[in-house]
Amino acid sequence: MEKAAILVISMIATTFFVAAADTSAAAAATTVPPSYKTLYDLFISSPEFNVALGLFKYSGLLPLIKDPNTMITCFFPTGNATRMEDYLIMEEDQKGRYVWAILAAHCLLGQQAMTMKELSAPYGYGLLQYESAFVPYNDIFILDEYNDEDGFRMFCGGGNSEDGKVVKADIKGGKSIIHLIDTGIQYPFYLPPYYYEIMDFLQTFTPFALDVFSASSYVPFLTDPKRTTNITVFAPSNDAFAALLKQLRITKTQLLNNKALVDLIVAAHVINGTAVYTGAMISYKSPIKLQTMAGPLNAIGDLSIFPNRSGPAKLVILSNPFVRAALSDYEVGGTDVPYSPKYVGHFVDKVLIPVSIKDLSKIK
The model's pLDDT over 198-248, given as tens digits with 9 standing for 90+, comes to 888 888 888 999 999 999 999 999 988 888 898 999 999 999 999 999 999
Report yes or no: 269 and 292 within 8 Å, Cβ to Cβ.
yes
What is the helix (H) or strand (E) element at residue 98, kind and residue range? helix 97-105
pLDDT at 22: 45
- CA angle 121/141/59 to nearest 5° reads 140
d(Cα 201, Cα 234) in Å, to the nearest integer? 11
Q: Which residues have C-beta within 8 Å of that of residue 118, sequence separation ≥ 6?
A: none
> Strands 73-77, 231-236: parallel, antiparallel or unpaired by DSSP?
unpaired
Q: What are φ and ψ of residue 216, in 5° steps? A: -95, 170
One digit per residue, the tens of pLDDT, for the chain of length 364 reads 444 443 333 433 333 333 444 444 444 444 556 789 999 999 999 988 887 888 787 766 787 788 888 888 988 888 766 555 555 545 455 555 566 667 777 888 777 888 888 887 666 556 677 777 765 555 667 776 555 555 566 666 665 566 677 888 899 999 999 998 887 666 665 555 555 688 888 888 889 999 999 999 999 999 888 888 989 999 999 999 999 999 999 999 999 999 999 999 999 999 999 888 776 777 666 889 999 999 999 998 764 444 443 334 456 889 999 999 988 755 556 665 555 677 888 889 999 999 999 999 999 8
d(Cα 343, Cα 271) in Å, to the nearest integer? 9
Q: What are φ and ψ of residue 48, in 5° steps? A: -55, -25
> Within a 13 Å sphere around the CA of 329, how many CA atoms are in the beta-carbon half?
31
Q: What are φ and ψ of residue 186, in 5° steps? A: -80, 125
pLDDT at 176: 93
pLDDT at 160: 57
pLDDT at 19: 40
d(Cα 131, Cα 137) in Å, to the nearest integer? 9
How do residues 71-123 score in pLDDT, each as one tens digit? 889 888 887 665 555 555 454 555 555 666 677 778 887 778 888 888 876 66
Among residues 171, 170, 174, 172, the alpha carbon closest in space to that of 38 is found at: 174
What is the helix (H) or strand (E) element at residue 300, kind and residue range? strand 295-301
pLDDT at 276: 83
